[in-house]
């Protein structure tokens, strides 16, 4: 996968359905361990809740998933929350839907609608960002070419450090698919003086 969408930050919404209060909390940029920590944090936040149901996708590829009904009838809470994440094509994102039972049973269909609806509303309230698979490049240039080189870097990616010596060494992350074009543009901008080395280090970056 060359990119993925995720919830940028943590958000919470509240809904009341037939006297039950549903609190949906969503958090992004979490791997599986961080997602489990997040679930525990929400449980501590609402220790007297009837249920804290959750789902998360803990990797960029969408393969690392987990969900829990936390005492609700099987298939009525965790799985519907997970389907919201999948439908919105979100990765490295977790949702916990907390329920305070209000005395009126919703039935299986009502529970599915309540949990999925609360999860979807939490996602709608959130800022969604995207990260792209990038490669780390090592650019060596003359001091006179810093401005031209930096201009190309800003067009393609993000800088990741500078070292000053007899020449200037700049590290940058550039979209994997743009790496060849980047090398060409740096060469043209510096009249062939700058040298670019692909370090073979890959990471997902917000550009």
Residue 98 structure tokens: 């907390």
CA 177 – CA 170 distance, rounded (Å): 20
Residue 1: pLDDT over 90: no
Per cent of the chain over pLDDT 70 is 100
Q: What per-residue confidence (pLDDT) applies to 157?
A: 94
Beta bridge partners, 170, equal: 139, 162
pLDDT digits over 78-88, tens only? Answer: 999 999 999 99
pLDDT digits over 100-120, tens only? Answer: 999 999 999 999 999 999 999
Measured in degrees and rounded to the nearest 5, phi and psi for residue 161 equal 125, 150
Domains of the chain: 3-126 (3.30.230.30), 132-205 (3.30.70.240)
């Amino acid at each position: 996968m060359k990119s993925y969408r995720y919830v940028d930050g943590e958000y919470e919404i509240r809904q009341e359905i037939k006297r039950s209060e549903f609190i949906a909390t969503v958090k992004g940029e979490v791997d599986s361990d961080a997602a489990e920590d997040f679930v525990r944090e929400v449980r501590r936040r609402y220790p007297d809740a009837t249920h804290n149901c959750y789902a998360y996708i803990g990797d960029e590829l969408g393969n690392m998933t987990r969900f829990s009904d936390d005492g609700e009838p099987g298939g009525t809470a965790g799985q519907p929350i997970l389907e919201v994440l999948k439908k919105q094509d979100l990765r490295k994102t977790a949702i916990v839907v907390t329920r305070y039972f209000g005395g009126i049973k919703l039935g299986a269909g009502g529970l599915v609608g309540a949990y999925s609806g609360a999860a979807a509303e939490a996602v709608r309230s959130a800022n969604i960002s995207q990260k792209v698979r990038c490669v780390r490049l090592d650019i060596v240039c003359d001091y006179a070419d810093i401005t031209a080189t930096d201009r190309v870097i800003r067009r393609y990616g993000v800088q990741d450090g500078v070292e000053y010596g007899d020449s200037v060494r700049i590290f940058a992350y550039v979209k994997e698919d743009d790496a060849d074009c980047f090398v060409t543009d740096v060469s043209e901008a510096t009249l062939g003086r700058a040298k670019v080395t692909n370090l073979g280090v890959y990471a997902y970056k917000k550009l």
